Amino acid sequence: MKKQLAIYLAMCAMALACVSCLGDDNEDSVIVYPYASLLSFSVGNMELPVSTVTDEGKDTTIIKLVAGSAYSFVIDDKNMQVYNRDSLPKGCNVSKVITYVSCDGIPYFYQPESDTFEPVSSSDSIDFTSPRRLLIASTDGTYMREYTVTLNVHSVDPEEMSWYSLATPAVDKPVRAIPFKDKLLLYGCNAAGEAVVAASTLSGDPSWGAPAAISAGLDEKALNTVTLFNETLYMAQADGKLAQSADGYVWEYATGTTAYSANAAGFNLKTLLAASQQDGKMWAVASIDGAAADSIVYTTDGINFVTTTAVEQDFPCHKVSSAVYPLTTNADITRYVLVGYATSQTDAAPVVWSKLSTEDYWMQLVSDGDKKYNCPALENLTVLHYDGMLYAFGGTGVVADEEIKPFAALYMSRDNGLTWLQADDEYMKLPEALAGSDAPYAAVVDNNHRIWIITGGDTPQVWRGSINRLQFQ
């Protein structure tokens, strides 16, 4: 190989008719340089086969063109590497790629078939299914630099949802999952019906510790209210008292000094609704002695509550699933969305209420369109904010008069809960192994843009999923 390179360098020094890749307009002139340098690298358009369905409903494949100009290439002179930082789409055909090289010197690609270096030509295609060697030789034949050129192609579709099955905890009936500090806390009940908490690492593969008992007398309703606020966990207990925990295991009553303090006489907490670290408020529903109806209240310190308005007839107070997130147009404003039931009878359709942190009152969202756009009426309904949208799933239910099996579909709302549609099955979908499972479960989104679904029962499962592009570094 060294002998071949020496021959090429000698040819470079002697080939006065050779065209420099500096792009000199005078084709008869030859500029001889004692150095070699790669200035830029780019590629032409590439083919991308795409599966689709014809108007007649038949499967077919069409060819789309991927614009090579949309992908910039990094020239790493320290490590002698050339690569595209943004990967090409999955399935992109890189076996026949036109290349454009700008350099001080003369560029050659190594051809493994002939074991030779051949001059780069914009009329010849190169196979980049594996990295290629690119040689830049000085025109006086005294110097050369060799790069490894790699075309990165996604191994997965960036828009597709990928799910991974993980180790399961020994919690018979999962109720609530909360990312807390560097762990994922799972609250639920063991086979004896006792309230327990199990913890797992969030990074890497989960490693669940043995479930620990937290308090006697706690029921599913209380566990379902566990809320993180100001780095502290809170829970509305069945006796109307507010409990707090600094570690998720040891709970104690929150106490204050005002008439509307947590656990003060005449102040009974019914449920916790939602909390926002950014807005600095945790919202709840409470019964206050002397008031004709329950009140919507909030706290800024986890102890003292401020009353706002009376609970309206259709306000969600039971099995509430909340989503709290900043506006995309103004990150300083927080949006709260509550999805739940106005009464304990959860066989009715769920209701959706919302408010902004800049607003004083909660407002019910009611679609004026067909009922098929209503929030799906599913048992144990879960609503999560993910990738800028709301997603809903759950157990058995009825949507637009159609009976839905557990975990059969994923529903999404692009307008903050006003209207709902079934998500695209090709990309956004639940794990197939969950379809039809009526086991109790808990679900949550962690700080790494991953959705966790943890089921119990006879065949417990743990699934962690993400839209692939959200995990690209």
Least confident of 227-241, 392-406, 436-450: 392-406
23 confidence band (pLDDT: 50, 70, 90): very low
Tell me, what's the pLDDT at 11?
52
Which tokens hold the place of 176? 């609530």
Task: Express each pLDDT in 214-263 by its tens digit.
Answer: 876 678 889 999 999 999 999 998 888 899 999 999 998 877 656 567 77
Residue 199 has pLDDT above 90, yes or no: yes
Residues contacting 101, CB < 8 A, separation 6+: 21, 38, 40, 41, 107, 120, 134
Tell me, what's the pLDDT at 217?
64
Tell me, what's the pLDDT at 108?
96
Q: What percent of the chain has pLDDT over 90?
A: 63
Cβ contact 466:161 at 8 Å: yes
324 confidence band (pLDDT: 50, 70, 90): very high
Tell me, what's the pLDDT at 220?
84
End-to-end CA distance of the chain: 38
Residue 97 has pLDDT above 60, yes or no: yes
Domains of the chain (ranges plus CATH)? 2-45+72-150 (2.60.40.2340), 161-226+312-471 (no CATH), 227-311 (no CATH)
> What is the Cα–Cα distance from 141 to 145, expressed in whole angstroms?
12
Residue 2 has pLDDT above 50, yes or no: no
Tell me, what's the pLDDT at 398?
82
- What average pLDDT does range 390-400 have in this prediction? 90
